[in-house]
Structure 1
Amino acid sequence: MSIAQIVLSDLHLGARDSLLTHVNGSGEIAEGPSEVLSAFANGVRETLGDGEKPQLVLLGDALDLGLSPFGDVSQSFLQLIDAFFPEDGRELFRRDIVYVAGNHDHHLWRMAQDHQFVMALQSGRIPRDIEQITPIMGQPTIGCRLMESLLAHRPHMAGATVRIAYPNWGLADAATGRAVIMHHGHYLDGMYRALSTLRGFLEDSEARPATMEQLEAENGPWIDFLWSDLGSAGDMGDEAGSLYATMLSAGASHDFAESIARRATGGLNSKLGINPKMQLKYGITLDNLIRAGVDLSAGRAAERQRDGYGHVLGEEEVEDIGWYLSTPVASQLHDELGELPRELNFVFGHTHKPFQDELTVDGFELPVGVFNTGGWVLDEPTLMPVQGCAAMLVSDDLEVASLRLFNDPTDGAMAPVRVEGSGRVSRLAEEAGAAVDNAASHWGDFSRTVHARIVEEADKRVRRMLDRSNDSQREAAE
């Protein structure tokens, strides 16, 4: 068995509701890896054995910059390094880490864009604008300055690199016609294409961008504004956490959207003298547009995500994957490879709902293998049935298999860790499955540790909810 890459997404390091973040009894970031992180590292170590080390790919939202302060995130990232690259033990991965930014850590890509522009100025050039995207194929060349600066806090990691790619990274083999594309998954979510939707409405044109450059140019600033580093916004960052919790509830998110829309339209009138009832086109008023836009991002998008608790993909999500692969991804692949690969596997995260399947996508000869990594955070007091986590395994001949780590416990028991393919015959799935079975005792320890942490976190949340309820009742009585 030759595993070339292991792909992890949605670690949300630094977030208190991440199963990987190690906090002490007072809720502060603690030293060293958490029990869950240590157990996961042990399972991977026993599964890989003494063979060649794979490359680690962090597929977005690995750092919870969207809701956690930079310092907490930084300390938690070092917990990950200590687990995967122990100073006095066997390292799990190669030292060239690939980082594909997501929505909660889009700020890392913005930092890289700014740095590349400044470097060009220092070399005597004045580029027309920042670079919107990186190539899909080839090892990334732009360093993630935050993570590489953190690696310097571990002297034994001298020479290690973290290279950033955005919004996709991939691998291709011309001889076999096989390729793997990795994307965090936020651009499959209409919430993060809101400015493209607005542009389409105003211009009466196709809302979904045709190229990756257009997609990022139109929506990157929106992602930065929305989530990507609110964790360092002081009290506002704390409020953002409450906002995120609100958006997990469809009904609450609609109420929130209505409140925001009222404030926006009222402010336009009172502070700028702009009449919110002014007509734009087709009888649509500015007030209508603002309310629709806010509800689209904070209301309907939330409802769509929450409705998805009963299933991993809805009709709209399948359509969005088809558009993403057949249009902006296909355009970039044509530019870089000259043709589309015959056999494609697509890996993404973002939804926190792991699955593997095959989808028919326009332009691709064979059904596309689609794999979701799930996530390591608890969006609700406990896991919902389809929520959970997986790590993606990529072989040197570009087969992909899902290392299914955990889902919602059934009847108080966790399903065993296992390897699953998308449905097509896979030598990787067979060989990796055997290796996981051989390490069953270590993965059993991991499952028990995860289950205990989920139960512990659920109890904490219930206590917090009861405390808030009691406080509200006391205030009402006074």
Structure 2
Amino acid sequence: MTIAQIVLSDLHLGARDSLLTHVLGGGEIAREPSPVLAAFAAGLRATLGDREKPQLVLLGDALDLGLSPFGDVSKAFLQLIDAFYPENGQEIFRRDIVYIAGNHDHHLWRMAQDHRFVTQLQDGEIPGDLEHITPIIGQPTHGCRLMESLIAQRPHLAGASVRIAYPNWGLADADRKRAVVMHHGHYLDGMYRALSNMRGFLEQTPARPATMHQLEAENGPWIDFLWSDLGSAGEVGGQTGSLYQTMLSAGASHDFAESITRRLTGGLNAKLGINPQMQLKYGITLDNLIRAGVDLTAGRAAERQREGYGHVLGEAEIDDIGWYLGQPMAAQLREELGELPREMQFVFGHTHKPFQDELMVDGYATPVGVFNTGGWVLDEPTLMPVQGCAAMLISDELEVASLRLFNDPTDGTMAPVRVEGSGRVSRLVDDASEAVAGAADEWAAFSSEVHGRIVAEADRRVRDMLDQSNHAVREAAE
């Protein structure tokens, strides 16, 4: 058994609060990899040894396009390439990378959609619309032109490719009746299904789409509009970070939603003479519609996946996973494979809270293995015990194991890097655990680097919050 793929998610390259982005003292992005990234590469290299190189799968939000300028993101991506594919050193991965876009980098999928549409026009065709989704199973055919253009700046990597899939990509073994499907995880979060929620509210129909095509067709433009491009929006984009943090706090998000609603309804009345109490349909007033729309996007979003201090999944998130696996994903798998696999493993990120477990999902014969990658950024100034990061290992027999890299050191100590499974018997867990143990020194050095960076970043955030608070107090006093 060999490790065929290694899945990384939520790197947020280019973000100042990503543990992987190397930022110099003056605030500019460095050329060389960060100490954390270099130590991570050393741990992987020592663990894999002379084994066959695995494929690198980037599971969304690898690039922080939603909150960081394209230039910073591009430089940080080259840091990753230099760490994993050094010019004068051992390359860790195969040169055919698979990229599954998420929410902060949805723009990459939009670029691929546009390129395919224009190419078809140049071939004399006029497609009916953009290609909303790609097949789950099979080699992706869309090239990620941004990443491939950056890799081209490294001549020793001639011929390397990055193929993009969206919103899912997976592997299937017909003989073993197994499959592994990967999705960034944003469509498990109601914030990113806002337009479907609005449609369901207006039409009194089920808000959660039944197919992947409907899910992306309804919500893709919304994700692109608010979550994937603002890193290059100048000062307005710079304020998006504050908005994003607000959305992660239930209390602050509720106040924010109420403020938006009052401003919208008051402005319509004062400036346009439109009465917010005017009825639209079925007794629904304009005020009802605006309030519902804002609440479905800004208000309830904070009550979803990342705000929990002590748990990785709540009942609502488990219900959303069941819907996603049991309806739109199941429909596409049946269309592509003819039937659902007997053994199913699902890998996602987005929440920044790594875990592994098994869930019963309607339609599947056995419990589905569910694995979360966590993430490489700090979401809050305070450390959270459930926040952390993992890399997913996929074997050539489609077993999945979690390489647990770290959790926030809330008690001042870092748990050692280790391999964990979802609970079932797994050769991959045993083999990978032995390989990780053989690289104990490299992983201990990695843990030390991560610990130092997390503590430093948390301290910096606390100082920034205190500075902002003191500034606000001084302004109020004046």
| TM-score band w.r.t. shorter chain | over 0.9
Number of aligned positions between the proteins: 478
Give the structure 1 partner of residue 339 of structure 2: 339
Return the offset for 1:361. 0.6
Equivalent residue runs for 1:212-251 within 5 Å: 212-251=212-251
Q: Is the 8 Å Cα contact of residues 356 and 370 (structure 2) preserved in structure 1?
A: yes
Return the offset for 1:362. 0.7
Q: Is the 8 Å Cα contact of residues 403 and 419 (structure 1) preserved in structure 2?
A: yes
Q: Return closer, same or farther for 1:333/1:306 CA change in 2, 3 Å cut-off.
A: closer
1:321 aligns with 2:316: no
Give the structure 2 partner of residue 79 of structure 1: 79
> How many angstroms apart in 2 are the aligned matches of 1:66 and 1:360?
34
1:200 aligns with 2:200: yes
Give the structure 2 partner of residue 66 of structure 1: 66
> How many angstroms apart in 2 are the aligned matches of 1:205 and 1:179?
32
Counterpart AA for 1:285: T
> How many angstroms apart in 2 are the aligned matches of 1:328 and 1:459?
43
> How many angstroms apart in 2 are the aligned matches of 1:140 and 1:8?
18
Most deviating of 306-315 and 382-391: 306-315
Give the structure 1 partner of residue 167 of structure 2: 167
Q: Is the 8 Å Cα contact of residues 179 and 343 (structure 1) preserved in structure 2?
A: yes
> How many angstroms apart in 2 are the aligned matches of 1:368 and 1:431?
22
> How many angstroms apart in 2 are the aligned matches of 1:131 and 1:253?
34
> How many angstroms apart in 1 are the aligned matches of 2:352 and 2:280?
39
Give the structure 2 partner of residue 119 of structure 1: 119
Counterpart AA for 1:324: Y
Counterpart AA for 1:22: H
Equivalent residue runs for 1:247-262 within 5 Å: 247-262=247-262
Give the structure 1 partner of residue 144 of structure 2: 144
Q: Return closer, same or farther for 1:96/1:306 CA change in 2, 3 Å cut-off.
A: closer
Return the offset for 1:272. 4.8
* Structure 1 residues 191-248: Cα deviation after superposition (integer angstroms, max 9, x where no partner): 1111111111111111111110000000001111121111001111111111112222
Q: Is the 8 Å Cα contact of residues 98 and 164 (structure 1) preserved in structure 2?
A: yes
Return the offset for 1:264. 2.2
Most deviating of 293-302 and 326-335: 293-302
* Structure 1 residues 69-123: Cα deviation after superposition (integer angstroms, max 9, x where no partner): 0000000000000000001000000000000000000111111111110000000
Most deviating of 374-383 and 387-396: 374-383
> How many angstroms apart in 1 are the aligned matches of 2:193 and 2:269?
28
Give the structure 1 partner of residue 356 of structure 2: 356
Q: Is the 8 Å Cα contact of residues 12 and 64 (structure 1) preserved in structure 2?
A: yes
Counterpart AA for 1:249: S
Return the offset for 1:477. 2.7
3-state DSSP class of the match of 1:309? Answer: coil
3-state DSSP class of the match of 1:15? Answer: coil
3-state DSSP class of the match of 1:113? Answer: helix
Counterpart AA for 2:58: L
- Uncovered stretches (5+) of structure 1, i.e. residues with no partner: none
> How many angstroms apart in 2 are the aligned matches of 1:215 and 1:303?
21
Return the offset for 1:463. 1.6
Return the offset for 1:127. 0.3
Counterpart AA for 1:343: E
Return the offset for 1:435. 0.5
Counterpart AA for 2:378: L
Q: Return closer, same or farther for 1:408/1:36 CA change in 2, 3 Å cut-off.
A: same
3-state DSSP class of the match of 1:339? Answer: coil
Q: Is the 8 Å Cα contact of residues 382 and 454 (structure 1) preserved in structure 2?
A: no
Counterpart AA for 1:221: P
> How many angstroms apart in 1 are the aligned matches of 2:47 and 2:35?
18
Equivalent residue runs for 1:52-451 within 5 Å: 52-451=52-451
3-state DSSP class of the match of 1:140? Answer: coil
* Structure 1 residues 157-209: Cα deviation after superposition (integer angstroms, max 9, x where no partner): 11000000000000000000000000000000011111111111111111111
Q: Is the 8 Å Cα contact of residues 250 and 306 (structure 1) preserved in structure 2?
A: no
> How many angstroms apart in 1 are the aligned matches of 2:271 and 2:336?
50
Counterpart AA for 1:118: V
Counterpart AA for 1:291: R
CA RMSD between the two structures: 1.2
3-state DSSP class of the match of 1:153? Answer: coil
Return the offset for 1:413. 0.6
3-state DSSP class of the match of 2:87? Answer: coil
Q: Is the 8 Å Cα contact of residues 141 and 163 (structure 2) preserved in structure 1?
A: yes
> How many angstroms apart in 2 are the aligned matches of 1:354 and 1:415?
14
Q: Is the 8 Å Cα contact of residues 358 and 367 (structure 2) preserved in structure 1?
A: yes
Give the structure 2 partner of residue 470 of structure 1: 470
Counterpart AA for 2:262: R
Q: Is the 8 Å Cα contact of residues 357 and 423 (structure 1) preserved in structure 2?
A: yes
Q: Is the 8 Å Cα contact of residues 211 and 332 (structure 1) preserved in structure 2?
A: yes
> How many angstroms apart in 2 are the aligned matches of 1:305 and 1:431?
32
Counterpart AA for 1:334: R
> How many angstroms apart in 2 are the aligned matches of 1:103 and 1:360?
27
* Structure 1 residues 242-282: Cα deviation after superposition (integer angstroms, max 9, x where no partner): 11122222111111111112222233344555432222334
Q: Is the 8 Å Cα contact of residues 374 and 389 (structure 2) preserved in structure 1?
A: yes
Q: Is the 8 Å Cα contact of residues 67 and 238 (structure 1) preserved in structure 2?
A: yes
> How many angstroms apart in 2 are the aligned matches of 1:192 and 1:378?
21
Counterpart AA for 2:465: M
> How many angstroms apart in 1 are the aligned matches of 2:151 and 2:460?
33
Q: Is the 8 Å Cα contact of residues 248 and 301 (structure 2) preserved in structure 1?
A: no
Return the offset for 1:328. 0.5
> How many angstroms apart in 2 are the aligned matches of 1:433 and 1:349?
22
Q: Is the 8 Å Cα contact of residues 189 and 304 (structure 2) preserved in structure 1?
A: no
Counterpart AA for 1:335: E
* Structure 1 residues 27-54: Cα deviation after superposition (integer angstroms, max 9, x where no partner): 2111110000000000000000011100
Return the offset for 1:299. 1.7
